[in-house]
Structure 1
Amino acid sequence: MARAGLTTDRVVRAAAELADEAGFGNVTVSALARRFGVKDASLYSHVRGVADLRTRVALFAAEEKTERITAAVAGRAGRDALVAFADAYRRYALEHPGRYAATQLPLDPETAAASVGYRRAVETTYAMLRGYHLREPDLTDAVRLLRSTFHGFVSLEAQGGFGHPREVTASWGRIVESLHRTLENWPASGAPGDG
Structure 2
Amino acid sequence: MPRAGLDPAAVTAAAAALTDEIGFDRLSMGLIAERLGVKTPSLYKHVDGLADLSHRIAVLAMDEFADTLRDAIQGLAGGDALAAAAQAIRGFVLEHPGRYAAANLAQRSGDDDPLVPASGRVLASLAAVLNGYHLEPGQQIHAMRMLRSVLHGFATLEAGGGFQIDADVEVSFRWMIDFVDRGLRAIAAEKG
Q: Under a length normalisation based on structure 1, what TM-score does the superposition of the two structures give?
A: 0.91
Structure 1 residues 134, 155: CA separation in 2 closer, same or farther (over 3 Å shift)? same
**How far apart, CA to CA, are the structure 2 residues paired with 1:3 and 1:135?**
55
Query: 2:101 — aligned with what?
Result: 101
Structure 1 residues 39, 134: CA separation in 2 closer, same or farther (over 3 Å shift)? same
The within-5 A match list for 1:125-136 is 125-136=126-137
- 1:62-120 CA-to-partner distances (Å, cap 9, x unmatched) read 11111111101000000000000000100111111111211211312626864332120
Query: 2:174 — aligned with what?
Result: 173
Query: 1:193 — aligned with what?
Result: none
Instruction: Report the AA paired with residue 56 of structure 2.
Output: R
Matched position secondary structure for 2:46: coil
Matched position secondary structure for 1:148: helix
- Quote the offset at 1:135 in angstroms: 3.1
Query: 1:80 — aligned with what?
Result: 80
Q: Between the two proteins, what is the percent identity of the paired residues?
A: 42
8 Å contact kept, 1:59–1:103 = yes
The within-5 A match list for 1:109-188 is 110=110, 114-115=114-115, 116-186=117-187
- Quote the offset at 1:188 in angstroms: 9.1
In angstroms, what is the RMSD of aligned CA positions? 2.0
Mapped pair 1:38 → 2:41: no
**How far apart, CA to CA, are the structure 2 residues paired with 1:21 and 1:112?**
30
Structure 2 gap ranges (5+) = none
- Quote the offset at 1:187 in angstroms: 6.6
- Quote the offset at 1:189 in angstroms: 10
**How far apart, CA to CA, are the structure 2 residues paired with 1:15 and 1:135?**
42
> For this pair of structures, how many residues does the alignment match?
190
